[in-house]
Amino acid sequence: MLKELQVKNFAIIDDARIKFQKGLNILTGETGAGKTLIIEAINLLIGERAGSDLIKDGEDKLLVQGYFDFKDNPMAINYLLSENLIEEEDASDDIVITREVTRIGKNRAFINGIFTQVSNLKKLGEFFIDIHGQHDHQYLLDYKTHIEIIDRFGKDRILDAKRDYSESLEKYFKKREEFLKLKELKNVREEKLKDLNYRYEEIKKLNIKENEEEILENEIRILKNYEKIYRLASEGKKIIDSEDTGIPSLSNNIAVLDKNIAELAEIDHEFKKFCDRLSTLGDFIEEISHSLNSYLANFDFSTERLDSIQERLYKLSEIKKKYNLDLNSTTGYAEKLKEEIESFEDLDSEIDKKQMEYNETREILIKKALLLSALRKEVVVDLEKSVTDEMTDLGFKSVSFQPQHRLLEGNGDGIEIENKKIKFSKNGIDDIEFLISLNIGEAVRPLRKIASGGEISRIMLALKSVISFVDNITIMIFDEIDVGIGGAASLVVGEKLYKISRNCQIIAITHLAQIACFSDAHYFIDKIIEGKRTKIKIKKLDPDSKIKEISRMISGMKESDISVKHAEELLEKCNTIKSDLIEGKTKVEN
């Protein structure tokens, strides 16, 4: 249960604390007083989105803090333990959930002071609270949500089957996509194979060698500079060997120099440091001379070779542009092409294999879908009885509530049942819609076509009642469940809320005195102006104040002797009904 709620700097709420009780907690006040803000604040504690626009003007951050007792909710405690948000020794009857939102957009959540993700609050909320907002009636009128209600009501039977179906559906879609892709590939195989072979042969025919482009570019550079190379090499040879007999060659001069320096070094050791270097220089000049002689002897210019290299480089350049590759990558590309060609040649056997896998997953999916559908049929029968009982309890004397179970028809891949094409959906093969008749002699019709606002409110309450029981929900919140309700029906709704609150804490906003009279704790929300600021004030009503508020709700104005008397009579009647319920007596007649 929610023991206490603190709200700071939230819209027009300055700093408010509410200590709730077990049972039925009622919030009342004039229209626009800010009652719904309390529900919105609680919503933040279960992970709903929050923007900085909710922060009170002039403040930097808002804070909402809830103090919860989870000792009767082992599922909530187990979740907190599994997420390491509490320790085994922590008191389960004192769990604190905090939410902060700052003006700069920081959004933080804490459980018992430990930082956690907002998504964890949302998950935790599923284990203990159900909030009925002002627009949830529309949810019930959308028949596509009815299958979710069936699954929620029958979750003990349906949950595992639905999970198995979802896993099988995912595998089925994957195998179907693989199979269809290969089938499509088969249709274009000939053209594709022709293209792959052409590319492969074109690259292999060139027989590209490693670093071939660099080698050829160097060779063509040499051939294009033939005359200059020949001139430079010849001059170099001439300088070293000296073809003029009257002039000593560079080699001879260095040899003479080497000999003279060696003799000098024997006399003056200062010259010894030049001996080794001169000897090396002589060897180096001899090596250059030998290379130049060999180079000039073998050097040859060929226009045919130049043309051949240029043509080869052009072909290599064309391949590079065509396939957007550097030449060193072409070998790897050719290997990939070869693998693709081989895979195409093995395509038929691969298609057969994928079709077999697809057929197997399809058969499994059909079995899972039929099992899920059969379980839903059983749950439909149980929900029909439970909701009919609750609606009878809510004053529908001649109600006929029938969840209609059909198979989902449609085109595309599916199964054929009784000559009808049934399609797979994320929820199975079922189509469920709630049908209802509220009067004897009237045929059942879709809920969205027959029920008024007040009737929808009571039907929603009946559904909430049965679902909260199977969900082990310990807190239920109703923001104006009394929409469209009046007269004796409102007394019946108040009685139903009181009955539910014997096993589940209820916090409800209402405008009806007949509902407020059943409260275990009654809170009055008032909007006040202090200075130039609007604030809300929350007051827990004592018995006398409760009579005055019930009086105001009945008459719509400040209490009078007559309205007070009516309020006292109404409270007395409600107290009698409450006593009878506790003692197990028959409920009030509508």
Q: What is the pLDDT of residue 43?
A: 93
Considering just the CA atoms, what is the radius of gyration of the chain in Å?
45
Tens digits of per-residue pLDDT, 491-516?
Answer: 888 988 998 898 899 999 999 999 99
Q: For residues 379-400, give the mean pLDDT.
A: 89
Percent of the chain with pLDDT over 90: 37
pLDDT band with cut points at 50, 70 and 90 for residue 585: low
Whether residue 122 has pLDDT greater than 90: yes
pLDDT digits (tens, 9 = 90+) for 368-380: 999 999 999 999 9
pLDDT (0 to 100) of residue 295? 75
Model pLDDT, residue 275: 81
Say what the pLDDT of residue 247 is: 61
Q: Judge contact between 388 and 459, C-beta under 8 A.
A: no
Q: Count CA atoms within 13 Å of residue 188 on its CB side.
A: 8
* Beta carbons of 10 and 45 less than 8 angstroms apart: no
Mean pLDDT of 464-477: 82
> Is the pLDDT score of 589 beyond 50?
no
pLDDT computed for residue 173 by the predictor: 94
The pLDDT of residue 244 is above 70: no
Residues 6+ apart with CB under 8 A from 111: 80, 85, 86, 95, 96, 97, 98, 120, 121, 124
Tell me the HSE value of 254 on the side-chain side, using a 13 A CA sphere. Answer: 20
Residue 302's nearest CA partner among 223, 213, 219 is: 223
pLDDT at 590 over 50: no
**Cross-strand pairs, 417:** 420
The mean pLDDT of the chain is 85
Residue 232 pLDDT > 90:
no
40 pLDDT above the threshold of 60? yes
Distance, CA of 210 to CA of 562 (rounded, Å): 107
Residue 582 Cα distances to 14, 85, 176, 492, angstroms: 39, 38, 60, 16
Q: Give the sign of the dihedral formed by CA 431, CA 151, CA 380, CA 482.
A: negative
Looking at residue 308, its pLDDT comes to 85
Q: Please give the pLDDT value at position 195.
A: 81
pLDDT digits (tens, 9 = 90+) for 248-269: 677 777 777 778 878 887 877 8
| CA–CA gap between residue 418 and residue 469 (Å, rounded) | 37
Give the mean model confidence (pLDDT) for residues 205-234.
79
Q: In the structure, what pLDDT confidence band is assigned to residue 159 with cuts at 50, 70 and 90?
A: very high
The predicted-structure confidence for 300-349, as pLDDT tens digits, reads as follows 767 787 788 888 888 888 888 888 878 777 778 888 888 877 776 677 78
For residue 61, pLDDT over 90 is answered with yes
**Average pLDDT estimate for 236-247:** 69
Question: What share of the chain has pLDDT > 70, as a percent?
Answer: 95
Task: Give the pLDDT confidence of 433-468 residue by residue, as tens digits.
Answer: 999 988 888 888 988 787 566 677 788 888 888 887
Specify the 3-state DSSP secondary structure of 444: coil
Give the integer Cα–Cα distance in Å for 449 and 147: 18
What DSSP element (H or E) covers 195? Answer: helix 189-206
Range with top average pLDDT, 20-29, 83-92, 214-223, 407-416: 20-29
pLDDT bin (cut points 50, 70, 90) of residue 528 is confident
Mean pLDDT of 541-560: 88
Superfamily covering domain 1-128+473-549: P-loop containing nucleotide triphosphate hydrolases (3.40.50.300)
Mean pLDDT, residues 359-370: 94
Least confident of 4-13, 318-327, 535-544: 318-327
Q: Is the pLDDT of residue 42 over 90?
A: yes
pLDDT at 586 over 60: no
Q: What is the pLDDT of residue 587?
A: 47
Parallel, antiparallel, or unpaired for β 521-530 and 24-28?
parallel
Task: State yes or no: pLDDT of 588 exceeds 60.
Answer: no
Half-sphere exposure at residue 265, Cβ-oriented, CA atoms within 13 angstroms:
13
What is the DSSP pairing of strand 107-111 with strand 95-102? Answer: antiparallel
Please tell me which residue, 416 or 282, carries the higher pLDDT value: 416
Q: Region 213-218: what's the mean pLDDT?
A: 81
- Using DSSP, state whether 260 is helix, strand or coil: helix
Residue 383 has pLDDT above 70, yes or no: yes
* Comparison of pLDDT for 424 and 32, the residue scoring more: 424
